[in-house]
Chains A and B, each alone.
Chain A
């Protein structure tokens, strides 16, 4: 398990997949990230990240239903795999541990 291969954008996308499950696909993820971060996020970037995540085995995908605004085309839906979930938890644990070690005065200064 190499944590280092999870990039920042990938981590966010992976989290988004987990948050939007079971209806996570490129468009909603991009919309969600745009709303959350305020930056514009293209579906192309999300798509590429999802491809990488799938290659690493953190998500799995299947083709879902088609809708009219998609021109009758099906969407590719993503779910977090068990491995992906564990990775997320690991990342979170690392961060939590670091957060807990930050001096509370310092935290008050930032607010």
Chain B
């Protein structure tokens, strides 16, 4: 009875879909009539002819899309409206989703800015790729080093024999603090004495004057901010400035401040090298055994830096070989090679120890963390979207049933994720703007948001598109693939949508990864914090509170100290005043050459040898282990040593007090000293390292004045009174003081930065992990609604349900903990090896981290599991 099947196939093939129903209906109806009239065989033949009669353009032509060119945007507006309604309806989800994504993007953006800043270091200079620094490579104690401090004859040799390679060869003194004084004002500024080619080499942007300004030996170029600080709004050109009270210079130019990401940004003025040598004539007499200069070069165009490096590599070695072998034995042993370090490598590869890759690794680490956090946030976004798919499944079913095409649904979900990402991005911009000053603070940077750079916005646009596609693709493709009949029937819940045990596997892996990171970070934060506390609690051997230090930067201090001491003590704000060679938080004089009864006392890395004045001990508050302090009563104390316990240990004596030591480093005549006392170790350098063996002796070679404030007066009250005394007695120097406790605290800055960063990343990692977990928990709870209902009907309690839903996650966190512990142990053990004076890795830190991770997990999922467990079984089971 049926019409020919093949004919129907043919018709279905050529006939436009929207006409198939009526055409086939007509054909079949007529076929039925024919069969009744003329019999089946004839009817079948006729049927073929009938079908072929439909082969005409008006039947074949496909109808163009149902909504070919929307003349109005109703449907598009509907998508937007639905998206907004979904956001508004699930406020918690939207908040978590947008917040998580925004935080991920903010972290990625901050880290990106940081990495960009590191990589673009020094690119401010136009001759960036032709500038280099001369370095001495060598080997010391088995470590390869690269020394930027060089002997003077090297520079003269370069200038005499190799000048063809270079456009500039500039000898420079290391940048230091100097006092700049005019008649009206005195300020302390960091500056550099360097030969006159520097403005040309660094392509300084001159606001006043010209690059030639430094050719006059009595000239100075000021940075814009320094010029403003000294001269205010008046024109600084041709004004006179006195440097450190003994060098006269005329301002011949003002240059724009160098940006923060340049090597020279701290240098606030450049003055000619000749001006410095004019008051330090010893400079030009120095030989190969005194390292105190830097040499910067700019290569000629078309010269290859590696070839030049090879050409100059043996300069020092050849010269040393001409000298007395015995005297330069140590220098020859280190096999010094001269080399050029290009400007592009100064910042990240400019370390003293060549194999110390710390800065580069930091860049990699920060970049990786940024990418990783963003990836986690994107995957969380996908997870949360798909976990809610049950809610949207019905919508998809209805949309499809009333005629939505799959492509329309895909574009709907894509536009929805782009909407969320755009909102998240606006939040990100706010977050970054708020967090940038704080981030700069932690990272010791001056990053700015490059709002004016078109390139930046293009990167941002690409960033949004990438994130949008990454995060939006899965929900868009997955949700739009639902079959309307299945979702609308609603018989089988999510299981039938292909989200069984296997589908939740990636989610579980993700949670494990996230928690591995979190637990590792929790452990790291705790250890770093404990290490800092451990070093902070170390006894430091002197009292740093109320101790003021002033550097004697001009020669005017000479001969006035006794008077200063008298006047200061007379104010009543000061207990004691003493001089010393270095600040109490530093050691600036190192020597060897100690012996006792003909046997050497070896100083493995040099010993501190610090000239101090008689009352130094009383001023800094050192503590005696044995013996007595210096006193003015005995003139013989000028041949006395006070040593610290570390030095006493080097001598291997039970009671070193009263022993005689001969001290004769190369540069001075040997002299015998008697040990007067032994003081407890004072932490002058790194608080993580053993104390340096140090001797103190009376010798008038002082650089610092130490002032012990009266503990009964307030600092704020004391300072103006002290300043008045200084202004009166040493008018040429600014009252520029440092507090010992603040200087000491600075020794922790690097570790505290790591600690702060670790803390922040820990919080973020935990937050993002919790988002992932929350998504997974809500997904599970939704999937098992019916199961929970049935279990409750059969008598399970809420507590049972909570346990049932929680135990999976507890297992995941335990796995994460098992992975994280060895990683954290290994990483932190390596880190702690950097410190001699270190805390240990106690087991309880690991246990506490694991426990806190577990607690956070339970808190996060309990919200979902308890909500699911409390649901009335009637509501969860009724819908069938």
Q: Which residues of B contact A51 (CB under 8 A)?
A: 58
Would A74 and B22 count as touching, CB distance under 8 A?
yes
Would A73 and B25 count as touching, CB distance under 8 A?
yes
Task: Determine the distance from Cα of A75 to Cα of B21 in the docked complex, in whole angstroms.
Answer: 8
Q: Which residues of A contact B58 (CB under 8 A)?
A: 48, 51-52
Is A58 an interface residue, CB under 8 A from the partner?
Answer: no
Is A42 an interface residue, CB under 8 A from the partner?
Answer: yes
Nearest-neighbor residue (CB-CB) of B30 within chain A: A27
Would A27 and B29 count as touching, CB distance under 8 A?
yes
**Chain A window 70-111, contacts with chain B (Cβ cutoff 8 Å), 1 for yes, 0 for no:** 110111100000000000000000000000000000000000
Task: Point out the residue from A45, A63, A69, A76 that lies within 8 Å of B28, measured CB to CB.
Answer: A69
Would B22 and A42 count as touching, CB distance under 8 A?
no
**Chain A window 15-49, contacts with chain B (Cβ cutoff 8 Å), 1 for yes, 0 for no:** 00000000001110011000000000011110110
Would A71 and B28 count as touching, CB distance under 8 A?
yes
Number of interface residues of A (CB under 8 A): 23
Q: Which residues of A contact B50 (CB under 8 A)?
A: 42-44
Is B53 an interface residue, CB under 8 A from the partner?
Answer: yes
Would A45 and B53 count as touching, CB distance under 8 A?
yes
Shortest CB distance B144–A (Å):
87
Would B32 and A43 count as touching, CB distance under 8 A?
no
Task: Point out the residue from A47, A52, A63 that lies within 8 Å of B23, measured CB to CB.
Answer: A47
Nearest-neighbor residue (CB-CB) of B8 within chain A: A71
Shortest CB distance A28–B (Å):
9
Name A residues whose Cβ lies closer than 8 Å to a Cβ of B: 25-27, 30-31, 42-45, 47-48, 51-52, 63, 66-67, 69-71, 73-76
Nearest-neighbor residue (CB-CB) of B3 within chain A: A71
Nearest-neighbor residue (CB-CB) of B36 within chain A: A69
Is B431 an interface residue, CB under 8 A from the partner?
Answer: no
Task: Point out the residue from B25, B29, B33, B54 that lies within 8 Å of A44, measured CB to CB.
Answer: B54
Is B59 an interface residue, CB under 8 A from the partner?
Answer: yes
Nearest-neighbor residue (CB-CB) of B57 within chain A: A48
Task: Determine the distance from Cα of A25 to Cα of B22 in the docked complex, in whole angstroms.
Answer: 10
Q: Which residues of A contact B22 (CB under 8 A)?
A: 26, 47, 63, 73-76
Is B780 an interface residue, CB under 8 A from the partner?
Answer: no
Please name 27 pairs of A and B residues whose Cβ atoms are closer than 8 Å in the assembled complex, sorted by A.
A25-B26, A26-B22, A26-B26, A27-B26, A27-B30, A30-B30, A31-B33, A42-B50, A43-B26, A43-B30, A43-B53, A44-B54, A44-B55, A44-B59, A47-B59, A51-B58, A69-B28, A69-B32, A70-B25, A71-B28, A73-B25, A73-B28, A74-B22, A74-B25, A75-B25, A75-B26, A75-B29
Task: Determine the distance from Cα of A58 to Cα of B609 in the docked complex, in whole angstroms.
Answer: 116
Chain B interface: which size bin? Answer: 20 to 34
Would A73 and B21 count as touching, CB distance under 8 A?
yes
Task: Determine the distance from Cα of A95 to Cα of B22 in the docked complex, in whole angstroms.
Answer: 35
Is B155 an interface residue, CB under 8 A from the partner?
Answer: no
Would A42 and B26 count as touching, CB distance under 8 A?
no
Is B24 an interface residue, CB under 8 A from the partner?
Answer: yes
Would A47 and B33 count as touching, CB distance under 8 A?
no
Q: Which residues of A contact B858 (CB under 8 A)?
A: none
Q: Which residues of A contact B56 (CB under 8 A)?
A: 44, 48
Is B27 an interface residue, CB under 8 A from the partner?
Answer: yes
Q: Which residues of A contact B33 (CB under 8 A)?
A: 27, 31
Shortest CB distance A56–B (Å):
13
Q: Which residues of B contact A70 (CB under 8 A)?
A: 24-26, 28-29
Is B489 an interface residue, CB under 8 A from the partner?
Answer: no
Q: Which residues of B contact A52 (CB under 8 A)?
A: 58
Is B49 an interface residue, CB under 8 A from the partner?
Answer: yes
Task: Determine the distance from Cα of A89 to Cα of B561 in the docked complex, in whole angstroms.
Answer: 130
Would A73 and B53 count as touching, CB distance under 8 A?
no
Task: Determine the distance from Cα of A76 to Cα of B24 in the docked complex, in whole angstroms.
Answer: 11
Q: Which residues of B contact A31 (CB under 8 A)?
A: 30, 33
Task: Determine the distance from Cα of A67 to Cα of B54 in the docked complex, in whole angstroms.
Answer: 22
Shortest CB distance B61–A (Å):
10
Q: Which residues of A contact B21 (CB under 8 A)?
A: 73-74
Task: Determine the distance from Cα of A52 to Cα of B25 in the docked complex, in whole angstroms.
Answer: 20
Task: Point out the residue from B24, B25, B27, B59 that lies within 8 Å of A48, measured CB to CB.
Answer: B59
Nearest-neighbor residue (CB-CB) of A63 within chain B: B22
Name B residues whose Cβ lies closer than 8 Å to a Cβ of A: 21-30, 32-33, 49-56, 58-59
Nearest-neighbor residue (CB-CB) of B20 within chain A: A73
Shortest CB distance A18–B (Å):
20
Nearest-neighbor residue (CB-CB) of A76 within chain B: B22
Shortest CB distance B59–A (Å):
7
Task: Point out the residue from A44, A45, A63, A73 that lies within 8 Å of B24, measured CB to CB.
Answer: A73
Shortest CB distance A26–B (Å):
5
Would B59 and A43 count as touching, CB distance under 8 A?
no
Nearest-neighbor residue (CB-CB) of A66 within chain B: B25
Task: Point out the residue from A47, A48, A69 that lies within 8 Å of B29, measured CB to CB.
Answer: A69
Task: Determine the distance from Cα of A36 to Cα of B53 in the docked complex, in whole angstroms.
Answer: 20
Task: Determine the distance from Cα of A60 to Cα of B22 in the docked complex, in whole angstroms.
Answer: 15
Q: Which residues of A contact B53 (CB under 8 A)?
A: 42-45
Specify which of B22, B23, B52 lies most central, judged by the most chain A CB atoms within 10 Å of its CB.
B22
Specify which of B21, B55, B59 lies most central, judged by the most chain A CB atoms within 10 Å of its CB.
B21
Specify which of B27, B32, B33, B56 lies most central, judged by the most chain A CB atoms within 10 Å of its CB.
B27
Q: Which residues of B contact A44 (CB under 8 A)?
A: 50-56, 59
Would B25 and A71 count as touching, CB distance under 8 A?
yes
Task: Determine the distance from Cα of A37 to Cα of B281 in the docked complex, in whole angstroms.
Answer: 130
Task: Determine the distance from Cα of A74 to Cα of B49 in the docked complex, in whole angstroms.
Answer: 22
Task: Determine the distance from Cα of A42 to Cα of B51 in the docked complex, in whole angstroms.
Answer: 9
Q: Which residues of B contact A43 (CB under 8 A)?
A: 26-27, 30, 50, 53
Specify which of A42, A63, A67, A74 lies most central, judged by the most chain B CB atoms within 10 Å of its CB.
A42
Would B25 and A47 count as touching, CB distance under 8 A?
no
Nearest-neighbor residue (CB-CB) of B46 within chain A: A40
Q: Which residues of B contact A71 (CB under 8 A)?
A: 24-25, 28
Shortest CB distance B42–A (Å):
12
Shortest CB distance A79–B (Å):
15
Q: Which residues of A contact B30 (CB under 8 A)?
A: 27, 30-31, 43
Specify which of B25, B27, B59 lies most central, judged by the most chain A CB atoms within 10 Å of its CB.
B25
Q: Which residues of B contact A42 (CB under 8 A)?
A: 49-50, 53
Would B54 and A47 count as touching, CB distance under 8 A?
yes
Shortest CB distance A78–B (Å):
11
Task: Determine the distance from Cα of A38 to Cα of B29 in the docked complex, in whole angstroms.
Answer: 20
Shortest CB distance A85–B (Å):
24
Task: Determine the distance from Cα of A31 to Cα of B26 in the docked complex, in whole angstroms.
Answer: 11
Task: Determine the distance from Cα of A69 to Cα of B28 in the docked complex, in whole angstroms.
Answer: 6
Q: Which residues of A contact B23 (CB under 8 A)?
A: 47
Q: Which residues of A contact B52 (CB under 8 A)?
A: 44
Shortest CB distance A35–B (Å):
11
Task: Determine the distance from Cα of A48 to Cα of B26 in the docked complex, in whole angstroms.
Answer: 13
Given contacts A42-B49, A73-B22, A75-B26, 8 further A-B contacts (CB under 8 A): A27-B26, A30-B30, A43-B26, A44-B53, A44-B54, A44-B56, A52-B58, A75-B25
Shortest CB distance B214–A (Å):
90
Task: Determine the distance from Cα of A1 to Cα of B23 in the docked complex, in whole angstroms.
Answer: 31
Nearest-neighbor residue (CB-CB) of B37 within chain A: A31
Nearest-neighbor residue (CB-CB) of B52 within chain A: A44
Q: Which residues of B contact A66 (CB under 8 A)?
A: 25
Nearest-neighbor residue (CB-CB) of B1 within chain A: A69
Shortest CB distance A7–B (Å):
14
Shortest CB distance B439–A (Å):
67
Q: Which residues of A contact B27 (CB under 8 A)?
A: 43
Would A67 and B49 count as touching, CB distance under 8 A?
no
Task: Determine the distance from Cα of A49 to Cα of B228 in the docked complex, in whole angstroms.
Answer: 93
